[in-house]
Amino acid sequence: MDFFAKPALMILVFGLLVVFHEFGHYIVARWMGVKVLAFSIGFGPTMVAWRRGDTEYAIRWLPLGGFVRMLGDDPMAPLDDEVARDPMAFQNKPVWRRSLIIAAGPLFNFVLPLLVLFGSALVYENELVSTRVGTVVPGGPAAEIGLQAGDRIRQVAGAPVESFDDLVREVSKRAGQPTELVFERAGKPQTKVVTPREVVNVAAAEVGLVERVGRILLYPGEMVPTVAVTPDSPAYAAGLRSGDRIRAVNGKPVQSWGELERSLASAGGRPITVSYSPLALAKGVARASWRESFRNAHKGGQKTAQLPAQAAQLAAQTLGLQPGYRLVGPMVQGSQEDTQVGLQPGDELLQLDGADLGSLEDAIERQKKPLEAVLVSPDYKVWSPEQRQQHLQAAAAPRALLVRHTLRDAERTQLLALVLGTAKPSTVTEKWLVAQPGARMLVERGWWDRPATWQLKVQLDKNDRPDLALDLASLVDRNTPEMVSNPRPIRHAMQVAGEEFLRGATVILVTVRELFRGNVPVKEVGGVVRMAQMTSEAADHGAEAVLRLIAWLSINLGILNLLPIPLVDGGHLLFLAIEAVRRRPASLRTRQLAAYAGLTFLGILFLVVMKNDLQRVLMQ
């Protein structure tokens, strides 16, 4: 269980949250003139303690929280005569002062994430991705208005954009709205009107959190020259196949599709020598090694191909070379796309339900759209997990897919043995092939367009959330985008911190609300073990992810402490509000009964959390 491998980080994260919370109570109590008797991090026996002035500071052995004890702050006990006369006693302070002291803990939990997110943005975002267009996805809104690689976007609906984040932020606001786009091409300003496509972001459908945002489908990084080769074209005849990556043209290295097109055009009617790396991927890879397989897809030896001279302005297309937008990357062994559809690395997706596909992103978006319509339904959050799965599976209708497969030499030999009857078919593709009347002719020709049925099988994970992730990714990589210095680091960091804080607070508030309404299962609630798991997962993604986790956990802690539950800060604030209205505190008996009720609730919650955490441990 890998989360136990990082206990020090877990203690550090949890300790920071507790210290900041308790320090809020402590510093405001001192400011309000209340005597603080103890400031403790942890519970149980004392590990180390020291005294300064009236306050004993301690670190205790059980790092499950902390406390600040003030003179006369026990709501369940009457004040003795000496404390009742002491002006520094908590209960002797006006209601507004006591309220500030109690509220300070949760408020400091809201200050911490703002500081953490602000600092993280300053450190990790001193450079930003520029607004230079790298890749325009075919069939998307950006492609429809003719945006090209190398264009620099300057304004969106009159708002200046200085980074790609600014561009995404402004476009996201305008889903389905005609939007004026100002960009530069070769230094000359141009203006076009684009209508961002509406895309559904499902943050947490089980609590009704869905977001409709605009996208124009472009990337800041230029696509590398991984090619789709048209069958029976000059490039095909020269030995190039779909999925190969061009490295050089007439000895000149090419790093992007744009460079490839310019190099071919500059050949000036002369024969062309192309150096390329053939696609070298196994049919199926383990999920854990997918990224490594993707990185190594073109790391084999290089080959050369001789291409005939072509008209400069049509060089790539007339040679039979197309950008590999529709090419399938490494295929996860045992996935639906592997076992059901029979996709292989280098396959090209041509059509879905009879309509041409512009890219792999297009295929994924169209496949998931009916399921997203279920997720955004207002009724989704009140359905049981079984009902959710039924509705989602009903929306996941079979889709007709047309797949182009191009053979390589080793595969051709293997499939000839198959169609001649000396071997038995085992995969979806092989079974389809041997059923074709002209199977041998297809193998000898070296390519075919195969119909396939593609139907998503919807599964709910252990938290009853639908897993809509497709094991389908493009073979085409993109180069590192252009970076620019952050022109306004302070303002940018403030904006990032505010947006992240608002997003986190919204998710947590809505989740808590739906938890009490019964729309979120109690098994979602986690404790120390869940925090350890989250910390371990964040640590695997680096310091920036850990800082973001600290921010979200701190927001969570602040909101939970403000709930009107006796014995937590929100319960104390509720009684102070009653006291402010009645002009006198609630009776001691009332406060004691409320405390017992709160203790019972917290005890039950503790048992539920422990049960959930134990289940998480056993399920590892």
Find the helix or strand (DSSP H, E) in which 448 lies: strand 447-454
Alpha-helical (H) ranges within 73-140 are: 81-85, 95-124
Determine what percent of the chain falls in helix, strand and coil, rounding each to the nearest 5.
45, 20, 30
Side chain identity at residue 350, one-letter code: L
Q: What's the burial of 249, exposed, middle or buried (CB within 10 Å: 0-12/13-18/19+)?
A: buried
Q: Which residues pair with 351 in a beta bridge?
A: 356, 402
The active-site residue out of 22, 261, 361, 514 is 22
Question: Dihedral, CA atoms, 586, 592, 598, 600, nearest 10 degrees?
Answer: -160
Handedness of CA 143, 145, 149, 152 (dihedral sign): negative
Return the SS3 of 14. helix
Handedness of CA 601, 606, 609, 611 (dihedral sign): negative
Provide the token pair at 562: 């403000």
Whole-number Å distance between alpha carbons of 89 and 531: 36
Nearest residue to 328 (alpha-carbon basis) of 134, 149, 470: 470
Provide the token pair at 611: 């049960």
Side chain identity at residue 342, one-letter code: G
Whole-number Å distance between alpha carbons of 407 and 439: 13
Whole-number Å distance between alpha carbons of 315 and 318: 5
Whole-number Å distance between alpha carbons of 347 and 337: 12
Handedness of CA 49, 64, 503, 518 (dihedral sign): negative
- Answer yes or no: 361 catalytic: no
Question: Active-site positions?
Answer: 22
